């Protein structure tokens, strides 16, 4: 199985900062990596698909990059509304796997 390791586990930031969240795969997955945002008591929401492709309706301050084994989700000018957990998921192979998540908190 492909293991996805997200770091950091928790990130505490000041509104207005730019942050980078990491997702590393145990094997190369090309660009078959997707990012999700999950707010407390809500269903996950797709933020970025296929490593860097934007999703309609998602604010432009969310961007992502990467391929192979190293992937990054960037959030520019973090806002209070961005307080959430962020998960990556690979769809390169079965079983599909998720990273353990990064929890974004605001100072």
Q: Give the nearest distance from C-beta 16 to another protein in angstroms.
A: 28
Neighbouring CB atoms inside 10 A of 56's CB total 4
Q: Which residue has the tokens 């079965």?
A: 94
**Backbone phi, psi, residue 99, to 5°:** -75, 165
CB of 31 to another protein, least distance (A): 11
Q: Is 50 in the site for another protein (CB under 8 A)?
A: yes
Contact by Cβ (8 Å): 92, 29: yes
Residue in 14, 89, 6, 98 with CA at minimum distance from that of residue 49: 89
37, 64, 99, 104: which one binds another protein (CB under 8 A): 99
| Residue 28 or 50 having the CB closest to another protein | 50
Residue ranges that bind another protein, judged by CB under 8 A: 34, 36, 38, 43-46, 49-50, 55, 85, 87, 89, 91, 94-101
């Amino acid at each position: 199985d492909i293991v996805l390791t997200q770091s950091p586990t928790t990130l505490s930031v000041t509104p207005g900062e730019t942050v980078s969240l990491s997702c590393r795969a145990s094997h190369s997955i090309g660009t078959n990596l997707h990012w999700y945002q999950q707010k407390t008591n809500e269903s996950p929401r797709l933020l970025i698909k296929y490593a860097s492709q934007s999703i309609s309706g998602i604010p432009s301050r969310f961007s992502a990059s990467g391929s192979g084994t190293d992937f990054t989700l960037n959030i520019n000018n973090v806002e209070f509304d961005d307080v959430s957990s962020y998960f990556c998921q690979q769809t390169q192979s079965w079983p599909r796997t998720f990273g353990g998540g990064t929890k974004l908190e605001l100072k």
